[in-house]
Each structure stands twice: as C-alpha cells, then as structure tokens.
C-alpha cells in the first residue's frame, strides 16, 4: 500500500519543480565509505532474501492509481456481482488516496487528474458516499471546474456509457470489422501496441452492442450544465486530427447502413480472437485493462458467468487484488474515521521482472553464485520460458520462440526487456544444469536478434510497431498505443548480447550507433519505461561500456557530467513524472532509492567509483536506509505510459540500490559463467 513515511519531504505544488535545496541528512561515524557501504548492503541483502517466495520468485506490489479500483467496482456492478465486503474495502483505499483539494492524482505528490477523479467519485457513489459529504462535494466542485464528465478521457466516458451516464452516440466509433483489415492496411489491429491491441478488440464488441445497465445513482453533480451534459461540438480541426474526426463521422454513419451479416461475423471473429488469447490463468496478457473489457465483451455475447472462460477470467481478476488489514483515517477531506480491510487492485503483476532484477542485485552484492536462493530463482525463471509463438510472430514470423514475459502468465507477449534481463540474471548463477541454462540463453538470444526493428533498435514487444496513425484516432487520447524502439529497451538488449560474446556482432554495433544518436544535447537519454532521463541514462551507460566504449568517450563524459550536475544536495538523485510533459522538471525531484541506484549504476559503469558524486550517492543510501534494510519510496519511478500511466514498483526501492552498492563494492559485475 502507499507508504506515508517521509511523504511530506520535498513536497511541491503541482506546477512548480522541486528546488535543489535538500535537508542534509546526518552522517554517521567517520569510518571508511566502503565499510559503511558494506553494512548497508548486508542489511539490504537480508531484507531482499526474506522477500523471496518459496517457489523462487520475487514480486513487489505494483501500485498505479485509483482508476484500477474504480473500474473493478464498475465491472462488478455491470456483471451484477458487486458485494459489500469488496466494495467497502476498495472504497477505503480510494478515500485514503484522495488529496487535500478533493481530487485524485495518478502518482504520489502529483496534480489532480480529471478522469481519475471522475472514476474515483463514481466508485464512492457505488459504495454509498453521498454528494453532500464533504469529501464528495469538494471532488465534484473540482471536477466541474475542470470541464465535468465531458472533459474526461474517452475510456472514462466508455465506462460511464455502460450505465447511461454518457451517450454512446457521443463516443468514437469502434467497428469490429477492423479485425478484418489486412496487416498491410493502415490501422489494422497489429498497428497497435500489444496492450492497446488486446484492449481495442474487445472494445469493438462493446461498441457494437452499446449496452446500458440501469444506473444505480445520478451523476448530475458532475456536469457543468446537467440540462446540457454534452457540450456543443467544436469545428473540425485541420491536419490529421480533422481527417480522423471526419473518419469517425463516416463510421457513425456506417453503423446505420452497414451489412448486418458482416457485422455479426466480425463480432464472432473478434470473440474468437479474444478467447484464443486468454492465458492459462484466465487473464489476458497478465494485465488488468484488457481483461475487464474482454469479460464485458464476452458477457454481451451471452457467455454465462459460470462458463469456464468467464469463471477463469473472474478468478484471475481477483488475483490482481492486494488486501491489507489495517485501519485508515479516511480520505484527506473526509472527517469521520473508517477502519477495516483495504483492497488495492494492481494493473499488472511483475514476478519475472522482479525476480531477474533481484537475482542480478544479490549476485552483484556478493552472494555466492551457487547460493540456494539464486539457484531457486534460476529454476523458476527457466520454467517460465515461453516456447510457443505469440502475436509477435504475426509480423516477425521467422524467429523461433524463446524468451520471457513480465507476468506469471503471458505466453502471447514475451518482451525484449524481460528476456534481456533474465539472460543477464541466469549468467550470474552457478546452476547445477549448465547445459539447460545455455540452451535457454541461446534461444533467447536468437529470438531477441530476430525481433530487431529496421533501424537496428528494439521496442518492448513488437518489431517496427511505429505507425503514427493509431495515435491520431479519436479514442486514443490516453497513453501510448504503439511500441517504437526505445533507448532503455535497446540498451538492455545490447548489454545482454555483449554478455554472451556478441560485442563485435554487426547487429550490436548498429544498435550502439543508434543509442549514440539518441543521446540528448544535455548528455542524457530518454526513459520510456522508467522515470525518466535518470532511468534512460542509467540503462544506456552500462550498455555502452559493455559494448566496449571507453570511459573517456565523449558520449559517456557528457552523460557523466549531466548526472553530476543534477545530483541533489543530499547526495541522491530524483526525477518527478512531470519531466515527461515539462522539461523544467527533468532530473528534478525528491531523492529516491531507485533513481539514486540508476544514477550510480551509470557512474560506476563509466569508471567513476572514486568520484565525489558516487560517494555522495552511496552515502545517501546508507543514511536513508530503514532499520529493516529497506528504503521508503512512496514516489512513482516506473512508467506504463509516459505521464499518462505511472507505476510504483515496490521492489525497485530494493533491487536497484542493492545492485549499485554491490557494484561499488565488487566492481561492475562478475565474469559471466555461461556461454
């Protein structure tokens, strides 16, 4: 759950970057920095070992925002299965996340978000909170000031349309016939990133049916003008926006005159596509959003809740819930107290990612390579290898399967990032079956090389998923819907390929050239999957050094100079999510353990072990470590979609500091054991 300790440190107003004036932490006895680092590392290693599951994996909570909890309640209301116990526990969490101004944000310390606030408000109405309650009236007033329901994103209004709170006619049209578009045709479903693809296909079924369940309450108080909840349409825009507005008008007209037989066939084939991609645990891709829309779509097609597909799906959704038994004083604007179990819904679960990162961290921290914890982790990772083709093979049919996904179950969508880090982790373990490890590594390397994009770099899930058109569609007003190559994923792939002896491979050299071309003028790299330039730079520098670039290479020196220039006065590093839309926030924020770890990994790779900046960062980790060996980190440093969807990986605060401390003490990594 959200940590509150230290949450007021370095707080800032939503429109002002955190200033670089930090309260200096107290230093301990004047002993050797390496000795202090060793003590810090030992405590953290013991904490991390204690977190391992008996089966060999690690998984920290994956915290996002209250839209996950609100949409879970709305789904249960739509299906008629919402129960009081679940509703009350979810409502406690939602109230506790409300900000003092009555709003809900999408990350710790961030500004209020209109769509998140609308969905949270609706969920609390389902839980019985009344418009006249202090916390509810404050939220409603802010929502109206921001444009009301009409100003919220399309996905929020889709949820409201399910209950008649918004007219379907005022939403972008999603025809199921798009499933028939060939792969070469613009806007076919494989032009979208895998996460968007899995969401859009079931939404086409929902859009075709336009269901409307009886609304359990009114939401008039969320409209600026309840008599005219839908504001007049603006004039058509120019450029591509205008083109797609006109296309949407055509699709609305097609709905009325289209061939009924074709639509029925498209709906059936969309349902088949959905069911074929259900994972063994009942989920879709191991992530929550496609699952909820798939359940709604299949229910509309007549699937009974006791049907095996639906029963498995609902059971998988229950596994996204994190329950905590503790009392809460209620939301920031709510006067009365409320106690009882609290329920937070994860958007996804990250066991493979957490396990490979924890394995690398513990090995680099000095744990023996044949330590039972590392061997158990390797065994579990080997069992998670994906051995069958997935959706990636629609466009990249040549590479044979091999690799790993992020979640417990996601055989359709292994990804380059996890695969690269799992290989790096396996090579740090002295496994009793080295041939088994070598075979898995060889398959992973072959698959990764086959998944390069045309520019020589890597995206996360697909190759050459770069069409600009999906982002222009009217319903794509939230988050990334394509998966172009990114510096962080490419860097991890390069580091992995160099670790298996591929430094001189022309494909690796081309990727290095691409990474160098992506360096910003200030010396940093953009972070697609972590916040932000600290993550990108922390990923790229170790890869470039692994690829043979010397520490005095101009690109590395520029990056080092940038990292040192943005170090906080307390010795740590921090970067707020607002750095995505606002350059004034780049590398500005409260120091965090994970981001300090990223900066240190970059500096250590560049040969800066004895630099004052490194000493300051290592010292910050020691001074801020908690008694149990962990670090407090309520700030969000993970990224689902830059700015739009932020993540607090609760294990990041452990794995990256431990890795950095280990490399400070023992060097930048052990000699690989396999290959």
Q: Which residues participate in catalysis according to the annotation?
A: 417
- Both structure tokens of 47: 């904490």
Angle at which helices 84-96 and 114-126 pack, to 10 degrees?
Answer: 140
Q: How far apart are CA 384 and CA 415, in angstroms?
A: 13
Q: C-alpha dihedral over 359, 365, 370, 376, to 10 degrees?
A: -30
**What φ, ψ does residue 483 adopt, rounded to 5°?**
-130, 65
Q: Is 238 left (phi over 0), alpha (psi -120 to 50) or beta?
A: beta
38 Cβ neighbours under 8 A, 6+ residues apart: 665
Return the axis-axis angle of helices 154-161 and 67-79, rounded to nearest 10°: 20
Residues whose CB falls within 8 Å of the CB of residue 554, separated by 6 or more in sequence, listed in order: none
- Only one residue has tokens 């520098």, namely 541
Q: Directed axis angle between helix 84-96 and helix 67-79, to 10°?
A: 160
Residue 341, SS3 per DSSP: strand
How far is 586 from 600, CA to CA, in rounded Å? Answer: 17
- Distance between CA 528 and CA 536 in Å, rounded? 7
Which H or E run contains 517? Answer: helix 506-517
Contact yes or no for 592/633 (Cβ under 8 A): yes
Question: 3-state SS string over 246-262?
Answer: HHHHHHHHHHHHCCHHH
62-63 and 645-649 as β-strands: parallel, antiparallel, unpaired?
antiparallel
In 88-107, which positions are buried (b, 16+ CB within 10 angstroms) versus exposed (e)? bbbbbbbbbbbbebbbbbbb
The strand order across the sheet containing 62-63 reads 62-63, 645-649, 638-641
DSSP secondary structure letter of residue 221: G
DSSP string, 408-463: SS-TT--BHHHHHHHHHHHTTS--S-HHHHHHHHHHHHHHHHHT--TTS---SSSS
Residue 553 CA neighbour count, 13 Å, CB half: 17
């Amino acid at each position: 759950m959200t940590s509150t300790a230290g949450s007021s440190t370095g707080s800032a107003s939503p429109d002002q970057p955190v200033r670089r004036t930090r309260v200096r932490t107290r230093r301990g006895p004047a002993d050797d920095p390496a000795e202090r680092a060793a003590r810090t590392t030992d405590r953290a290693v013991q904490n991390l070992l204690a977190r391992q599951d008996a089966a060999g994996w690690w998984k920290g909570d994956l915290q996002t925002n209250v839209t996950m909890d609100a949409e879970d309640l709305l789904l249960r209301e739509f299906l008629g299965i919402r129960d009081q116990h679940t509703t009350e526990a979810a409502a406690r969490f939602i109230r506790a996340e409300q900000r003092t101004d009555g709003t809900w944000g999408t990350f710790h310390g961030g500004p209020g978000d209109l769509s998140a606030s609308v969905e949270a408000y609706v969920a609390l109405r389902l839980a019985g909170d009344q418009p006249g309650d202090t916390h509810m009236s404050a939220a409603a007033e802010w929502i109206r000031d921001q444009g009301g329901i009409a100003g919220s994103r399309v996905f929020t209004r889709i949820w409201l349309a399910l209950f008649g709170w918004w007219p379907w006619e005022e939403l972008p049209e999603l025809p199921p016939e798009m499933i028939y578009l060939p792969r070469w045709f613009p806007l076919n479903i494989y032009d979208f990133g895998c996460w968007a693809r899995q969401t859009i296909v079931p939404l086409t079924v929902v859009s075709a049916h336009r269901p409307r369940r009886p609304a359990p309450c009114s939401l008039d108080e969320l409209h600026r003008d309840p008599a005219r909840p839908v504001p007049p349409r603006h004039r058509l825009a120019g450029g591509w926006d205008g083109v797609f507005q006109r296309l949407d008008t055509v699709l609305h007209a097609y709905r009325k005159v289209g061939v009924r037989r074709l639509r029925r066939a498209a709906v059936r084939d969309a349902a088949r596509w959905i069911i074929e991609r259900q994972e063994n645990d009942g989920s879709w891709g191991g992530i929550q959003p496609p699952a909820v829309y798939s359940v709604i779509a299949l229910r509309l097609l007549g699937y009974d809740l006791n049907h095996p597909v639906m029963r498995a799906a609902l059971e998988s959704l229950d596994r996204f819930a994190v329950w905590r038994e503790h009392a809460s004083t209620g939301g920031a604007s709510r006067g009365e107290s409320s106690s009882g179990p609290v329920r937070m819904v994860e958007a996804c679960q990250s066991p493979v990612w957490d396990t490979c990162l924890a394995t690398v961290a513990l090995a680099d921290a000095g744990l023996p390579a044949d330590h039972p914890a590392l061997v158990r982790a390797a065994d579990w990772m080997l069992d998670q290898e994906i051995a069958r083709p997935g959706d990636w093979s629609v466009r990249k049919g040549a590479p044979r399967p091999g690799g790993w996904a992020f979640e417990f179950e996601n055989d359709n969508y292994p990804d380059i990032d996890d695969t690269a880090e799992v290989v790096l982790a396996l090579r740090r373990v002295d496994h009793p079956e080295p041939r088994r490890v070598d075979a898995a590594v060889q398959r992973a390397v072959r698959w990764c090389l086959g998944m390069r994009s045309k520019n020589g770099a890597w995206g996360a899930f697909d190759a050459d998923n770069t069409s600009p058109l999906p982002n222009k569609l009217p319903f794509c007003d939230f988050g990334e819907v394509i998966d172009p190559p990114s510096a962080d994923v490419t860097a991890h792939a390069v580091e992995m390929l160099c670790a298996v002896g591929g430094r001189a491979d022309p494909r690796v050299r081309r990727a290095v050239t691409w990474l160098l071309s992506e360096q910003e003028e200030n010396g940093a790299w953009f972070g697609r999957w972590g916040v932000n330039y600290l993550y990108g730079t922390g990923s790229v520098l170790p890869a470039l050094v692994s690829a043979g670039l010397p520490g005095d290479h101009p690109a590395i020196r520029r990056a080092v100079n940038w990292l040192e220039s943005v170090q906080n006065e307390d010795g740590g590093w921090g970067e707020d999510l607002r750095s995505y839309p606002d350059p004034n926030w780049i590398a500005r924020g409260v120091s965090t353990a994970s981001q300090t770890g990223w900066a240190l990994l970059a500096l250590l790779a560049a040969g800066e072990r004895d630099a004052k900046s490194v000493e300051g960062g290592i010292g910050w980790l020691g001074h801020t470590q908690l008694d149990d060996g962990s670090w407090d980190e309520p700030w969000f440093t993970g990224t689902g979609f830059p700015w739009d969807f932020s993540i607090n990986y609760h294990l990041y605060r452990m794995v990256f500091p431990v890795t950095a401390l280990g490399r400070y003490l023992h060097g930048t990594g052990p000699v690989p054991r396999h290959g």
